[in-house]
Amino acid sequence: MDWKKYVAIAAVFAVTAVFCGCGKKAAETDTAGAEKAELSERVAEETAQRRLPVRKTTAAPVATRPLRATPPGVDIVLTEGEMLVSDFENWPNNLGGEIGVYGALEPNWDDVVNVPYSWVYEPVTPGYDPANVHSGKQSFRLVNGLGLKPSETWGSFAMDLGPTTDLTVMPKKVESADVSGYGYLSFWVKGDSGREKMELLIRDSHALNYSPQVKYKLPDLTVEWQKIVIPLKEISSKVDLTQLDNIGIAFGKDVGNVQGEIAYIDDFVFTNNP
């Protein structure tokens, strides 16, 4: 037996195994590094997306506490038997419904630093003033005619009373709210300069289109927060209170506002305590 020959062959196999093992380890390291880089990139992208403003400006309208004069930054205390629709502290609203602004209220998202825009009014909003919040840290700001459609004569804010269930029909379907057990709809409003004008808009699940079935004129605004109380018995003949879908605010030229007028709304609640 030529033992030297076999020793040489064994040495070759040993070296080959070492190199194969190193190559495998290097490949595993490269794969792990690539996966880690991909994960880091995905996390960074998702983080960046969470920091972007939510821009829900689709063509179709989408969005239990007592109401007291609460200092800005202080949450309102929950009271049994009242239904909170929205305090604008979370998205979507407190009933899971979407919120949108349309017509002359639609924002120009490319210029939200220098020009006031309609949307959730939060601490990161340029020029934020806590006096423009009724409770908590956020309200909703309405700005007439300074956004994408300054020539529109109408402008509205709309808020669904439940999550969307069907987008294939018009108007879209949402989970309707049964508010027949409540006597009032209450919310708070504040004008930027005073004498701004609003109309309350209401639509139920039987509506044939996005036009409101109820238009309820509100008193002129003041520069102080004022509570609006709507007796539901005054609108019960026009909408089905057992299947209410959407409430909104008209704030365009059509209700008497000029370009650039600003108002704030907060704390929408169905209640039996006017």
Domain ranges in the chain?
Answer: 1-50, 53-271
pLDDT at residue number 274:
83
Average pLDDT over residues 150-165: 98
Position with higher pLDDT, 140 vs 41 = 140
Please list the residues that pair with 143 across neighbouring strands: 262
Task: Summarize pLDDT for 79-131 with one digit per residue, the tens.
Answer: 788 999 999 999 999 999 999 999 999 999 999 999 999 999 999 999 999 99
Task: Summarize pLDDT for 217-259 with one digit per residue, the tens.
Answer: 999 999 999 999 999 999 999 999 999 999 999 999 999 999 9
Average pLDDT over residues 173-193: 97
Average pLDDT over residues 49-74: 37
Q: Which of 207, 182, 211 lies closest to 270, judged by CA?
A: 182
Lowest model confidence (mean pLDDT) among 33-37, 39-43, 134-138, 176-180: 39-43
Q: What is the DSSP string of 52-82?
A: SPP----SS-----------TT-PPPP-TT-
The pTM for the full model equals: 0.74
pLDDT at residue number 4:
44
Q: How confident is the model at residue 70 (pLDDT cuts 50, 70, 90)?
A: very low
Residue 160 has pLDDT above 60, yes or no: yes
Domain 53-271 fold is Jelly Rolls (2.60.120)
Position with higher pLDDT, 254 vs 43 = 254
- How confident is the prediction for the chain on average, in pLDDT? 81
What backbone torsions phi and psi does residue 28 show, to the nearest 5 degrees? Answer: -65, -40
What's the first-to-final CA gap in the chain, in angstroms?
108
Residue 141 has pLDDT above 60, yes or no: yes
Residue 142 has pLDDT above 90, yes or no: yes
Cβ-proximal residues to 100 (8 Å cutoff; 6+ apart), any chain? 56, 57, 58, 61, 62, 63, 157, 158, 159
Lowest model confidence (mean pLDDT) among 57-71, 141-155, 177-191, 205-219: 57-71
Calpha distance 96→175 (Å, rounded): 9
Calpha distance 227→74 (Å, rounded): 17
Extract the tokens encoding 274: 């006017």
Task: Summarize pLDDT for 15-33 with one digit per residue, the tens.
Answer: 444 444 444 444 444 555 5
To the nearest 10°, report the CA torsion of 97, 101, 103, 105: 160
Q: Helices (H), strands (E): how many in the chain?
A: 1, 13
Residue 34 has pLDDT above 80, yes or no: no
Q: What is residue 115's three-state secondary structure?
A: coil
